Amino acid sequence: MSYWWLLLVVFVVSWGLTLILRRYALARSLMDIPNERSSHSVPTPRGGGVAIVVSLALAFPVLGGLGLLAPAILYGVLGACLLVAVIGFADDHGHIAARWRLLGHFIAAMWALFWLNGLPAVSFFGTAVDLGWIGNGLALVYLVWMLNLYNFMDGIDGLASAEAICACLGMCAAYWFSAHMELVWAPVILAAAVAGFLCWNFPPARIFMGDAGSGFLGFLLAALAIQAAWTAPELFWSWMIVLGVFIVDATWTLIRRFARGDKVSQAHRSHAYQYASRRFASHKVVTLCVVAINLLWLTPIAIIVAKGGMPGAAGLLLAYLPLAALCYVFTAGVIEHSDES
């Protein structure tokens, strides 16, 4: 029996909830006011990512009831994602100290990993390597880093939404070609929910995602990669490849800022995508370029890796080298004079 009608329902719910949230934000003056570290110039309502959270929170139990979603995702990962979203929502409405946010993030990561049974053996050039408790510790840091890097990369109109949709649909294609269609439902429903929000967030954005939505997305995408690794180790590499634009830009920028002695929790606008948006004077151009990179470069490599046509580590290196070159060209992590104050 076909359940593809769920995609339309989730899309419409997300679209409608975003409209309601936009009106709510305007009525309550929940606005993102531009400052010297912003990439936008017009006050814009924020918090629209809650529509994605609510849409998924309603859709996943339906998928679970239809037998299309594993209990680990329904109870473990969704529960952890909701905690991340609540922390982000509270931070959007009133600042929460970074140490308390991180504590909540690590608690969420531990809960998700408990349900996912930790990190499975990782395939490295054809050899399965079981890292044991060290692997679980790395997985914990990985989940927290992914949700935070998604926050960092949600800085221009439509970028975080477009990246999530491209990653999800890219992995759906990888699942199709590698005969793992049982894993397709969570990412395809997530893509539908984000698409409903993107109708309002595409440049020029009429509402921003906010920390509740971006943290939720980053955590969920990272957790889906671990779930896929239990089915086939090469699928974890495929997920890391399709998320390459965000992973490389955020990690490159963080390392460069850390090496310079910057306070890494301080707001800045020195990511490669931010420099690119200022160079081209267009959020739309940069967002569409990221979509093109995903469709024309990262997704084909992810499919090849998923099918076993290339070792995962080799595919990752091939995918990331041009992205690292772009970070170098756009001087990611180099501080601007306006960021020095």
Is residue 256 included in any domain, yes or no?
Answer: yes
Tally of structural domains, the chain: 1
**pLDDT value for 37:** 61
Is residue 1 included in any domain, yes or no?
Answer: no
**pLDDT value for 123:** 81
pLDDT tens by residue, 209-230: 999 999 999 999 999 999 999 9
Is residue 240 included in any domain, yes or no?
Answer: yes
Phi, psi of 124 (to 5 degrees): -130, 105
Q: Percentage helix, strand, coil, to 5, in the chain?
A: 70, 5, 25
Measured over the CA atoms of residue 278, residue 282, residue 283 and residue 289, the dihedral's sign is negative
Is residue 2 included in any domain, yes or no?
Answer: no
Average pLDDT over residues 83-97: 89
Instruction: Check residues 99 and 116 and name the one with the higher pLDDT.
Output: 116
Is residue 3 included in any domain, yes or no?
Answer: no
In this predicted structure, the answer to whether residue 174 has a pLDDT above a threshold of 70 is: yes
Is residue 206 included in any domain, yes or no?
Answer: yes
Of 124-128, 243-247, 313-317, minimum mean pLDDT range: 124-128
- As a whole number of angstroms, the longest Cα–Cα distance in the chain is 60
pLDDT tens by residue, 251-279: 999 999 988 888 776 778 899 999 999 99
C-alpha distances (whole Å) from 149 to each of 137, 143, 335 are: 18, 10, 18
**pLDDT value for 289:** 98
pLDDT tens by residue, 13-69: 999 999 999 999 999 888 887 765 666 668 899 999 999 999 999 999 999 999 999
In this predicted structure, the answer to whether residue 340 has a pLDDT above a threshold of 50 is: no
C-alpha distances (whole Å) from 125 to each of 178, 233, 303, 304 are: 18, 11, 17, 14
Average pLDDT over residues 134-146: 96
In angstroms, rounded to a whole number, what is the distance separating the alpha carbons of residues 79 and 255?
31
In angstroms, rounded to a whole number, what is the distance separating the alpha carbons of residues 143 and 147?
6
Helix (H, G, I), strand (E, B) or coil at 319: helix
pLDDT band at 178 (very low <50, low <70, confident <90, very high): very high
Helix (H, G, I), strand (E, B) or coil at 122: strand
Q: Around Cβ 304, how many Cβ atoms within 10 Å?
A: 19
Is residue 207 included in any domain, yes or no?
Answer: yes
Is residue 252 included in any domain, yes or no?
Answer: yes
Q: Which residues of 228-251 are buried (b: 16+ CB within 10 A; e: fewer)?
A: bbbbbbbbbbbbbbbbbbbbbbbb
Range of the domain at 312: 8-339
In angstroms, rounded to a whole number, what is the distance separating the alpha carbons of residues 71 and 170?
24
pTM (predicted TM-score):
0.94
Average pLDDT over residues 110-136: 89
Average pLDDT over residues 178-190: 96
pLDDT band at 341 (very low <50, low <70, confident <90, very high): very low
